[in-house]
Chains A and B, each alone.
Chain A
Amino acid sequence: MTRRTFMADIDRWVRLSERRLDAVTKQATNNLLRGIRIAPGINRSGTRQRGTIPRDLGVLAASLQSTLYGSTAISQAGQDSYALVVGFMGAGDRAVFSWGGAAAPYVKEVHYGANGVPGTFWIDDRAADWPAIVRAATAEAKLRVRP
């Protein structure tokens, strides 16, 4: 009798842990990408602000390509394309988010700077927030995902 209860506890603990891992993966990825700021660029009376995607020539922010390699394989393009990928993500999946491509081949010039105009480094700047984002998502999952 005791043995059966112990096994049931283990099963319940494993299921709960898996749900929490999935929740942290989704929440942290969503917060990471949702938090990237888009600012008016030089062509729109703005400046190049560190940590932002400048809306200058129009299509850089919208060139986001979100791809999920994992239990579900999907790829989507567009400024909010990460939302669909996040919806299907689970712990252990690999996802790639990139800007540029044929729509905005100038992405590196904007990110790293070129022709005397400083870069905005939004990818490196946002990646630096990843540990804090995961810590916050973990705390949230502990509260939200309960037995």
Chain B
Amino acid sequence: MNTKDIRNAMKAQLLGGAVADTAWPNVKDSGTTPRLEVEFTGVRQEGGTLKGNEVHYEEGTMMVIVAAAKGGGTDAGLDLAGAVAARFPEGSRLTITGGTVTIMARPDIRGGFPDDTNYRIPVAIRYRARNT
């Protein structure tokens, strides 16, 4: 398995809910509201083989930021954050080429905050991938 496979599996799982317009890493967001912005953070890997692109083990967090309309209360944003979290139940597994991705904990819906144009709610999804 490799990093691309792991991230694509997580993205596909998120997209399966078709919850909103989504901005992936290194893709400019559409500016529409509501939308999701995805970042991968705290990623730690182990190789375990001499093949440079092979990942034996990876652990990290997919951070999904829900960008909801500003000034409209928090319900719509929290509903969307809940829909995102529901896509990743604790213990669920995603099968990828040469490995498995496991959701390690219940997704953590964190406190929201406003920026200039949106109300933003982070959802942290912890995962661990192992090769098989």
Contacts and interface: CB of A to CB of B under 8 A. Distances in A.
- Give the interface residue-count category, chain A: 10 to 19
A108 B39 contact: no
Given A112-B65, A115-B117, A125 B41 contact: yes
A124 B44 contact: no
Given A115-B116, A115-B117, A128 B43 contact: yes
Contacts, number: 46
A121 B115 contact: no
B110 to A, nearest CB: 8
Contacts of B41: 50, 121, 124-125, 128
Interface residues of B, number: 20
A131 B54 CA distance: 23
Interface of A: 50, 108-109, 112-116, 118-119, 121, 124-125, 127-129, 132
Interface string B98-132: 00000000000001010111001010100000000
26 contacts: A108-B120, A109-B115, A112-B63, A112-B122, A113-B37, A113-B65, A114-B120, A115-B115, A115-B117, A116-B29, A118-B39, A119-B39, A119-B63, A121-B39, A121-B63, A124-B42, A124-B124, A125-B41, A127-B42, A128-B41, A128-B43, A128-B59, A128-B60, A128-B61, A129-B44, A132-B44
A124 B111 contact: no
